[in-house]
Chain A
Amino acid sequence: MTVRRIEVRERVMARNDELAAQVRARLAARGVTAINLMSSPGAGKTTLLERTLAELGEPLDMAVVAGDVQTQNDADRLAVHTGRLVQAIVTGGACHLDALQVNDALDHIDLDRTRLLIIENVGNLVCPASWDLGERHRVVLFTVTEGEDKPLKYPKMFEKADWVVLTKTDLLPYLPFDVDRAMRYCRQVNPRLQFLQVSAMKGDGMDAWFEFLRRAAAPSAGA
């Protein structure tokens, strides 16, 4: 018996990246903008989306893909606010969404009647950062009940994002959270990051968030 070595050098993420490219091409062909919404569990993704669907669901022809480890509770919560389609993905234990799941979910969405697709990822600041889903924007929600140093602890998530939305700002008077320090840490990890501050419960800052989405969904945005 002899042992023979076969050189391979294949990227482990290659298949996901090919599928993400496929998703991106499918969406581009229909003029759909996709946003990958990520955060730790409990940062307010679903509440932000509830308010967003109520305001922009119809005007921006929104569709939502909501990923959860178990239950489709989030998708059910969101469906109350819109007649637009909310597609649930239950990952069955997996800690992130991948491009294959999103590609399959697109089969259930009328892309010709959609302009803005929001993909609510599984609540997790580690794993979703590694999976390209074919999105145009990566938005990380960062909540004021977390430590300001989250960007330093989870750098890959913030490195790969282009927007950070600080959520639950109505709680700031009750917490020692230092907004300037949090933003400084974000910029330390990724100087290109852009910021929004919102309270989805009270409505503060929501106009700027809606404006960001309107611009993202505008036909010229992908140019």
Chain B
Amino acid sequence: MHELSLAMEIGRLAEAKLGASVSRCVAVGVEVGTDSGVEPSALAFCLEAVLSEPPWTGARAVLTQPEGNQFHLSWLEVEDDDGSED
């Protein structure tokens, strides 16, 4: 349950950052410090659930585990239509 509320907060932060491009987000990078008190596998499971619900379209969660107690949403990857298919 703890990790689910964290996953939902990550979703909220990312949505605020992305605005309308949230549906084009393909990956969400999260840093889970080894002393952060967050269980990475439980968080990954919960993030998968959050990122498969609208407005998300199944973005992948990429978790890294550096030493320390940091717990950050570190980056977002968005697919841009650059017109190369035209």
Contacts and interface: CB of A to CB of B under 8 A. Distances in A.
Contacts of A2: 79-80, 82, 84
Interface residues of B, number: 31
A148 B39 CA distance: 24
A6 interface: yes
A127 B72 contact: no
A3 B2 contact: no
Contacts of A129: 37
B77 A127 contact: no
A1 B78 contact: no
Given A8-B74, A12-B71, A127 B80 contact: no
Contacts, number: 82
A136 to B, nearest CB: 22
B77 A6 contact: yes
B76 interface: yes
B2 A8 contact: no
Contacts of B12: 15
Interface of A: 1-16, 93-96, 98, 126-127, 129-130, 156
Interface of B: 1-2, 5-6, 9-10, 12-14, 17-18, 26-27, 30, 37-38, 70-82, 84-85
Given A14-B13, A130-B38, 10 more contacts: A1-B82, A2-B80, A8-B73, A8-B74, A8-B76, A9-B72, A10-B73, A12-B10, A95-B2, A130-B2
